[in-house]
């Protein structure tokens, strides 16, 4: 019988988790995924509490990820989970992902890929060796108008790309929340849990990923200037850098978590010989297209004139707002459709395969470590190597 729904397990995302709820909502938005099991917390009581809240069977709520992977592997093929969604802090990404892949389970992983670049390289090898599906949830490339932007660039509408600007201003860490018991701030500012990068690891990776995706180009060199503005904070909370792209284009990236009053208005601009584009999350259904020799154009989500990639990632007619949850869900939907196609012996549509994966994860971790290293050493340019 043709498979129409996937069974998902979850690691992390217990009571009080922001990102766990986002993943569950996004995964199940299109009725392609059913949550069947999980280990939601390092404390079994909290994990069971979450399981009850989600109406899961008590015997599918596990003490830890090792038990979950082992016991799910023992279930009949038509009952066990097909893939696992991992929504833990960065230092608990590699081990459960590697274990799941080796046990024959596909993986959706919250970004960044791992705690270190070395772990990312090892995980990439495991993904390649096991031939399992892997999705990394870089949310912002899931927006329909970001996909429209990329297709216009790849189609050559703007000619050779010359300039890329990307910025991600936040203000929520303007005060030392980690010193006041804030759990989210606590692990994000702790290098043992977050990794080498603070703001760059948390949101700079999103800006970097968006810049490469929208421009269709890879960064070849960077020159970074990172700072820690809040006293007694260990990791960077503010930074900017110059970028060089493989085709000779130049760029600027800014990511900060101490821009008091700012929320999450990530923004990208790409300019070529003939014109450019601009997209920002505070108006996600709009793509501004600017020309050298004619008036500015406005592209909108849900309209009949956008690319097949933009259309495939929209759910409602034009004028009905689609936002962060829908963009997040687009990655799950494309991942799920592609996986279902494999399970059913079919070829996935090209639009379904457009979701972030292994290369995005590797380049994201290389970005963090190279930016931190470059900033500390004070050298002008560092070659981008994965």
The DSSP output letter for 173 is: T
Distance separating alpha carbons of residues 17 and 86, to the nearest angstrom: 13
Which residues lie below 8 Å from residue 187, measured CB to CB, with a gap of 6+?
A: 89, 90, 193, 194
The pLDDT assigned to 137 comes to 97
**All structural domains of the chain:** 6-132 (3.40.50.720), 142-321+362-383 (3.30.360.10)
Pairing mode, if any, of strands 6-11 and 33-39?
Answer: parallel
Provide the token pair at 361: 């994860």
Pairing label, strands 382-383, 219-227: antiparallel
In the numeric block, which tokens belong to residue 197?
């990068």
User: CA distances (Å), 234 to each of 98, 173, 189, 330, 384, in order?
Assistant: 29, 13, 7, 35, 25
Q: What is the pLDDT of residue 379?
A: 85
Placement of tokens 């292994």 in the chain: 358
DSSP assignment string, 206-230:
HHHHHHHHHHT--EEEEEEEEE--S
**pLDDT given for residue 1 in this prediction:** 83
Residue 175 pLDDT:
98
How distant, in Å, are the alpha carbons of 10, 24, 51, 70, 351 from that of 19? 12, 9, 16, 25, 26
Write out the chain's pLDDT in tens, 386 residues: 899 999 999 999 999 888 999 999 999 999 999 999 999 999 999 999 999 999 999 999 999 999 999 999 999 999 999 999 999 999 999 999 999 999 999 999 999 999 999 999 999 999 999 999 999 999 999 999 999 999 999 999 999 999 999 999 999 999 999 999 999 999 999 999 999 999 999 999 999 999 999 999 999 999 999 999 999 999 999 999 999 999 999 999 999 999 999 999 999 999 999 999 999 999 999 999 999 999 999 999 999 999 999 999 999 999 999 999 999 999 999 999 999 999 999 999 999 999 999 999 999 999 999 999 999 998 899 999 99
């Amino acid at each position: 019988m043709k498979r129409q729904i996937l069974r998902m397990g979850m690691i992390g995302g217990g009571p009080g988790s922001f990102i766990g709820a986002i993943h569950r909502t996004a995964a199940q938005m299109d009725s392609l995924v059913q949550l069947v099991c999980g280990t939601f917390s390092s404390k079994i009581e909290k994990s069971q509490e979450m399981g009850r809240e989600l109406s899961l069977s008590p015997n599918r709520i596990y003490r830890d990820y090792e038990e979950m992977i082992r016991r799910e592997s023992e279930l009949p093929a038509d009952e066990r989970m097909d893939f696992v969604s991992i929504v833990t802090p960065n230092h608990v990404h590699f081990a459960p992902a590697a274990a799941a892949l080796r046990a024959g389970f596909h993986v959706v992983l919250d970004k960044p890929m791992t705690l270190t670049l070395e772990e990312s390289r090892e995980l990439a090898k495991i993904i390649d060796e096991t031939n399992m599906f892997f999705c990394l949830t870089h949310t912002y490339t899931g927006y329909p108008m970001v996909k429209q932007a990329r297709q216009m660039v790849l189609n050559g509408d703007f000619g050779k790309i010359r300039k890329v600007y990307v910025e991600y201003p936040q203000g929520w860490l303007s005060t030392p929340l980690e010193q006041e018991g804030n759990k989210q701030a606590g692990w994000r500012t702790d290098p043992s849990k977050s990794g080498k990068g603070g703001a760059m690891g948390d949101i700079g990776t999103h800006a970097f990923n968006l810049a490469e995706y929208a421009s269709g180009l890879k960064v070849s060199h960077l020159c970074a200037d990172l700072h820690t503005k809040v006293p007694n904070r260990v990791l960077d909370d503010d930074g900017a850098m110059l970028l060089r792209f493989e085709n000779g284009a130049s760029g600027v990236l800014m990511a900060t978590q101490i821009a008091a009053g700012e929320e999450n208005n990530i923004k990208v601009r790409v300019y070529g010989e003939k014109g450019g584009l601009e997209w920002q999350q505070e108006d996600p259904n709009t793509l501004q297209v600017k020309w050298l020799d004619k008036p500015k154009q406005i592209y909108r989500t849900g309209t009949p004139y956008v690319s097949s990639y933009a259309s495939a990632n929209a759910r409602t007619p034009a004028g009905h707002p689609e936002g962060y949850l829908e963009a997040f869900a687009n990655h799950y939907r494309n991942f799920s459709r592609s996986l279902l196609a494999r399970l059913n012996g079919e070829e996935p549509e090209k639009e379904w395969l457009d979701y972030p994966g292994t290369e995005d994860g590797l380049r994201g971790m290389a970005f963090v470590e190279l930016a931190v290293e470059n900033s500390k050493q004070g050298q002008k340019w560092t070659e981008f190597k994965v």
